[in-house]
Homo-oligomer: A and B are copies of this chain.
Amino acid sequence: MNAKDINALARKTKEASRRLALLDTKTKDRALVAMSAALKSRASYIMRENEKDIALARKRGLSSAMIDRLTLTRQRITSMAGSLAQVARLKDPVGDTIETIKRPNGLLIKKVRVPIGVILMIYESRPNVTSDCIGLCLKSSNAIILRGGSEAIRSNIAIFNVLDKEAVKYDIPQGAISMIKETDRKIVDGLLAQEGVIDLVIPRGGESLIRDVSKKSRIPVIKHYKGVCHTYVDASANLKMAEKISFNAKVQRPGVCNAMETLLVDKKIAKAFLPPMIRRFKNAGVEIRGSKEVKKIVKDVRLATENDWYTEYLDLTLSIKVVDGVDEAIRHIMKYGSYHSDAIVARDSSRAAKFLNEVDSACVYLNASTRFTDGEEFGKGAEMGISTDKIHARGPMGLEELTSYKYIIYGNGQLRR
């Protein structure tokens, strides 16, 4: 694809987005249900294509964790189909009146939800992202251009082929869903220059991919670079609960952005809390990197470096620091964190309120695991991604976050004085 092809694709998608914006909910839902069924009935074809990606990944020596993420089993395809059916059942946000303003001069102003337009999704590895994002965009009447990672290209194309064919059969405008099938990196640069045609870019994947997209894009980008999530155990905490929450936040699935990377412990309860906690972590294979104060209490841990506090391990590794109460915990999180998801475990309500109020993260938790930062867990059905930005959307992005709004003003001859 050269620059002209890219512009033509973007314009064609914009055209389709105009027609998609006018589609009624029933038509969209019917298409989603049919697409869900098609995924299941074409599972063998998708798995065959997926096997080719996996074979290449093995040849390239990708880690077993990476290969696991890439792999599509029949069960995983069924779950993708389930997500599409679930999105069909969610409320359509398009056309919702957000606010009605009546003015003294008789003007009636309605603030109404509309689709954003054309969304460019740039992502890596997990092929289920392909169907999740197609589903959310279709339901919110946004046209989508998908650009997946080369490691999953055959799987992504297979999923796209099945879904797009079905969508068009069920009256979704041709071109509303499209996929870049070439892996040339220059195509991404070309797409990121389509300001005014593509309306929003959502990158999902490793930090370097996201930084690269943000740097080059002339189009608004919504993203999170990384998730350095904290759990702070206050002196007032139920220590048994704190242990369970911390363990869950680190160990239940360490390779994801909402997993805990740093545990902060109030010095008043550090001696009581840390020995059994660290023992439990070690039994689960977690490597601990502790501050000096941690090492004084549990000798057998590696000393954390300054850099560790900034690090998203995405693995069974954990930084632990002893802090002097909630104020130092907040300062630490604001300095080293990534404003993604941070938790306090406490019974003292004023210290809890201080933490929830002053930690400027997308999601702040009281007495729960940070692992809940997720579109489905928030009741949004699925998610396009998670944002740590302050503009437009923050936290898990579902259907509503894929809308903009317009003002419709009804008059009867009003003139400005």
CB within 8 Å of B: which residues of A?
A: 18, 21-22, 101, 103, 107, 109, 114, 116-117, 199-200, 214-215, 218, 220, 222, 238, 241, 244-245, 248, 252-253, 334, 356-358, 360-369, 371-373, 377-379, 389-392, 394-395, 404-417
Contacts and interface: CB of A to CB of B under 8 A. Distances in A.
Given A377-B103, A391-B404, A415 B245 contact: yes
Contacts of A22: 357-358
Name A's interface SS. mixed
Nearest to A221: B220
Given A116-B391, A200-B390, A371 B416 contact: yes
Contacts of A389: 220
13 contacts: A200-B390, A215-B218, A220-B389, A248-B415, A252-B417, A356-B408, A364-B406, A364-B409, A367-B412, A368-B414, A372-B416, A378-B407, A394-B404
B391 A392 contact: yes
Nearest to A111: B395
A414 B103 contact: no
Contacts of A369: 411, 414-416
Given A252-B415, A411-B368, A413-B245, A391 B357 contact: no
A366 B407 contact: no
Nearest 7 CB-CB pairings of A with B: A368-B411, A371-B416, A248-B415, A392-B392, A390-B404, A220-B391, A368-B414
A117 B361 CA distance: 12
A248 B391 contact: no
Nearest to A259: B416
Contacts of A244: 413, 415
Nearest to A361: B406
Nearest to A396: B407
A221 to B, nearest CB: 8
A199 B392 CA distance: 12
A354 B397 CA distance: 30
A277 to B, nearest CB: 15
A362 B407 contact: yes
Given A241-B413, A245-B413, A358-B22, A407 B392 contact: no
Nearest to A17: B360
A248 to B, nearest CB: 4
B368 A107 contact: yes
A200 to B, nearest CB: 6
Given A362-B406, A405-B394, A406-B395, A379 B117 contact: no
